[in-house]
């Protein structure tokens, strides 16, 4: 599996495309402000988009959804627990003084433990609430990586002060779904640089007790 990241916008959000190299099957993950770059890469490389996957329904992760949908008819997949937040995108945009175009809701619902097949590769959907109620990660143990959304970042963790956020749930998600992955697993998150489970286990100040954290 090959993964490319794209970053843009006021929130510095990372969007991704993941491709099964053997078949060319491709998914777009979290098309935020970087969506025009994603679409241009898809067009140049001639990749066939199988699906658009959303880790959660915050504005910065979906603001470019319309741009990708103009390029492909591939269905959008999201966990249903984030649907109320998707339906409130207008309010999210108003909070940041941003205009927001009407978006049709995601066509497909993701479920915890679901295996999403991408050519000869696959992702397991891992429900990881805390930053948002229906937040999911897309984990590929074969490829040694997780597209981890806004759950955990290099040296930081997802905020829990937005509607639907819950810090106990966030820590439980990190403990049970991130720290249980092999140390070498790459974490490709929604903001900031790539990191690994092993690095965050020993260096993330929110997790390591000697730095005041609660886990690891």
> Shortest Cβ distance from residue 112 to Zn ion (Å)?
19
Look at residues 195, 185, 189 and name the one whose alpha carbon lies nearest to residue 159.
Answer: 189
Q: E-assigned strands of 60-155?
A: 76-78, 108-109, 115-118, 121-127, 136-140, 145-149, 152-153
Look at residues 128, 127, 91, 100 and name the one whose alpha carbon lies nearest to residue 112.
Answer: 127
Nearer to Zn ion, 122 or 156 (CB): 156
Nearer to Zn ion, 150 or 169 (CB): 150
> Shortest Cβ distance from residue 190 to Zn ion (Å)?
4
Nearer to Zn ion, 58 or 77 (CB): 58
Nearer to Zn ion, 64 or 121 (CB): 64
> Shortest Cβ distance from residue 150 to Zn ion (Å)?
4
Look at residues 131, 133, 58, 135 and name the one whose alpha carbon lies nearest to residue 100.
Answer: 58
Distance from C-alpha of 30 to C-alpha of 53, rounded to nearest angstrom: 6
What does the binding site for Zn ion look like in residue numbers (CB under 5 A)?
58, 60, 150, 190
> Shortest Cβ distance from residue 139 to Zn ion (Å)?
18
Q: Please compute, for residue 21, the number of CA atoms within 13 A of its CA located in the half-sphere on the CB side.
A: 5
């Amino acid at each position: 599996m090959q993964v490319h990241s794209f970053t843009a916008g006021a929130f510095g959000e990372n969007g991704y495309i993941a491709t099964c190299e053997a078949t060319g099957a491709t998914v777009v993950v979290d098309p935020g402000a970087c969506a025009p770059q994603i679409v241009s890469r898809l067009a140049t490389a001639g990749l066939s988009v199988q699906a658009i996957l959303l880790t959660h329904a915050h504005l910065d992760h979906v603001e470019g959804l319309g741009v990708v949908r103009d390029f492909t008819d591939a269905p959008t997949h999201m966990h249903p627990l984030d649907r109320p937040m998707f339906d409130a995108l207008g309010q999210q945009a108003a909070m940041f003084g941003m205009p927001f175009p009407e978006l049709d809701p995601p066509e497909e619902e993701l479920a915890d433990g679901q295996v999403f097949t991408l050519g000869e590769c696959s992702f397991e959907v891992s429900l990881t609430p805390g930053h948002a109620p229906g937040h999911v990660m897309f984990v590929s143990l074969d490829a040694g990586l997780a597209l981890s959304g806004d759950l955990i970042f290099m040296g930081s963790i997802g905020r829990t002060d937005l509607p639907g956020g819950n810090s106990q749930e966030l820590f439980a998600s990190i403990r049970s779904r991130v720290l249980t992955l092999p140390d070498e697993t790459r974490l490709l998150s929604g903001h900031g640089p790539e990191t690994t489970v092993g690095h965050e286990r020993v260096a993330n100040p929110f997790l390591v007790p000697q730095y005041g954290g609660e886990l690891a």
